[in-house]
């Protein structure tokens, strides 16, 4: 495409280094934003080996490929960069089978001036927080998963990742049960919405999903049992 590349080797070399350090020290590691099929394969083998490892993938890498850059649309200038279709397929399968523990928004809002530049010179990043639920539902529908399975990578999956660092406070995190922390999102899975500047509350309006119609409209958000957001 005529752009300076960030090859898959940049990811796999880093993974090999991290795994060697884990073997030497016994440390627990979480890997952020896996982006390649080769990376998924390495993580799978490392987990089989028994390394104390978890990882996540961003909504961008889970749904998009390098071809979605189109005519060098700076909204698709991301870090890590978008890779090939086989990488996306491996990431989707890895998330479904549990090799990848969590799905993240990779919310990195960028202002108008930083994106209004030629692709290679623009700032990497995109708004994503408001898209996480809908893109998790979209992935689940594509894989033929149940609602609970579709939501696990953004609910119970992350809770398991952060649980060891919370100690006794981890009890009830990521679960709906009596006495648990009431961090809840109430949404309508059948309601669709269109991604656009008018529909995003984030200060950053740039996302490669602009114009997409997505499932799942949030009605209420509760934090610690208190109403934090109500849809208008």
Domains and CATH numbers, the chain: 8-174 (3.20.20.140)
From 56, 87, 101, 106, active-site residue? 106
> Can 87 be counted among the known catalytic residues?
no
For 41-52, what is each residue's pLDDT tens digit? 999 999 999 999
Instruction: Give the integer Cα–Cα distance in Å for 226 and 232.
Output: 17
Sheet with 102-104: strands ordered across: 29-31, 53-58, 102-104
Q: Mean pLDDT over residues 61-84, rounded? A: 95
For 85-118, what is each residue's pLDDT tens digit? 999 999 999 999 999 999 999 999 999 999 999 9
């Amino acid at each position: 495409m005529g752009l300076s590349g960030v090859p898959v080797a940049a990811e796999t070399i880093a993974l090999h280094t991290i795994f060697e350090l884990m073997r030497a020290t016994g440390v627990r590691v979480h890997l952020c934003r896996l982006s390649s099929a080769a990376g998924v394969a390495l993580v799978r083998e490392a987990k089989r080996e028994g390394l104390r490892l978890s990882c996540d993938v961003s909504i961008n890498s889970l749904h998009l490929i390098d071809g979605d850059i189109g005519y060098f649309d700076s909204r698709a200038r991301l870090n890590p960069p978008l890779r090939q279709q086989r990488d996306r397929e491996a990431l989707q399968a890895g998330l479904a089978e549990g090799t990848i523990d969590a799905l993240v928004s990779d919310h990195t809002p960028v202002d108008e001036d930083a994106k209004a530049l030629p692709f290679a010179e623009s700032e990497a990043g995109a708004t994503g927080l408001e898209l996480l639920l809908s893109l998790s539902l979209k992935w689940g529908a594509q894989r033929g998963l149940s609602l609970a399975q579709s939501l696990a990578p953004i609910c119970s999956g992350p809770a398991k990742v952060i649980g060891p660092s919370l100690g006794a406070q981890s009890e009830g995190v990521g679960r709906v049960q009596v006495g648990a922390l009431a961090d809840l999102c109430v949404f309508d899975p059948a309601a669709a919405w269109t991604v656009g500047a008018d529909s995003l509350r984030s200060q950053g309006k740039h996302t490669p999903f602009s114009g997409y119609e997505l499932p799942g409209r949030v009605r209420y958000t509760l934090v610690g049992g208190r109403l934090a957001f109500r849809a208008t």
